[in-house]
Structure 1
């Protein structure tokens, strides 16, 4: 299976459709069934205690899932998250890049399922794991 959108296509689509997050997410690698997205950690991503907040990690997992799905179905802005389960397993290091590696597990006509692991740069073990389901718009 070949992708319908390249990494450059996806970055452009994200910048055009969601300008509020421009620069927050960088595609590091893309294949037909997998993607790696990086998120530079800024002060706005931190919570008390000097760690990355859960909402920031959720955003990374969600955007990464969205991008691997769009890579396979094309630029359909109305693909939406219908379910997400996320496990926060370790404290990510403040000031480090977060890296999300996601795999497209199922791509159907109406639903897509993605598994994502989030790493803190310099740590071998994942800091979070997410399972996401997306609804794909008809047509």
Structure 2
């Protein structure tokens, strides 16, 4: 699936959050997804909330998997491990770089690095496993 295909899929299946994410690049089991950080993503202390960063990691892994297997709305997260490593810049977009590490018949394993736009060091790292629905 192309970036445009993935964005259209998000609008069709997840319209409630589709506008929060922009697929900037996709190909070869990799994807770059941007989340426009707004006031609703912030928490006290002038940082982006953990749930917002999790959402970006989860959506990025999901879309990276779908880019390889096609539009399967029922692919679901079965595991996630996330490390919050440094404070994101409040009000600055977050960018996720996701790489599918293994794509099997039933499971997909993806690594995601999240950066505040313009920061060299990642603010979070996640590994997610998705269950792929049977054909």
TM over 0.5: yes
Query: Taking structure 2 as the reference length, what is the TM-score of the superposition?
Result: 0.99
Q: Aligned residues, how many?
A: 135
> Aligned to 2:88, which of 88, 92, 104?
92
Q: How far off is 1:22 after superposition? A: 2.2
Q: Tell me the SS of whatever aligns to 2:71.
A: coil
Q: How far off is 1:122 after superposition? A: 1.6
Kept in 1: contact 2:24–2:34 (CA 8 A): yes
Say if 2:116 is the partner of 1:120. Answer: yes
Say if 2:31 is the partner of 1:35. Answer: yes
Query: Taking structure 1 as the reference length, what is the TM-score of the superposition?
Result: 0.96
- Structure 1: segments with no counterpart, 5+ residues: none
Per-residue CA distance 1:7-44 (angstroms, 9 max, x = gap)? 10000000110010021000111112100000010000
| Partner residue in 2 for 1:59 | 55
What RMSD, in angstroms, separates the aligned Cα atoms of the two structures?
Answer: 0.5
Q: Tell me the SS of whatever aligns to 2:34.
A: strand
Q: Distance in 1 between matches of 2:134 and 2:100?
A: 19
Per-residue CA distance 1:18-77 (angstroms, 9 max, x = gap)? 010021000111112100000010000001111000000000000000001000000000
Per-residue CA distance 1:95-128 (angstroms, 9 max, x = gap)? 1010000000000000000000000012110000
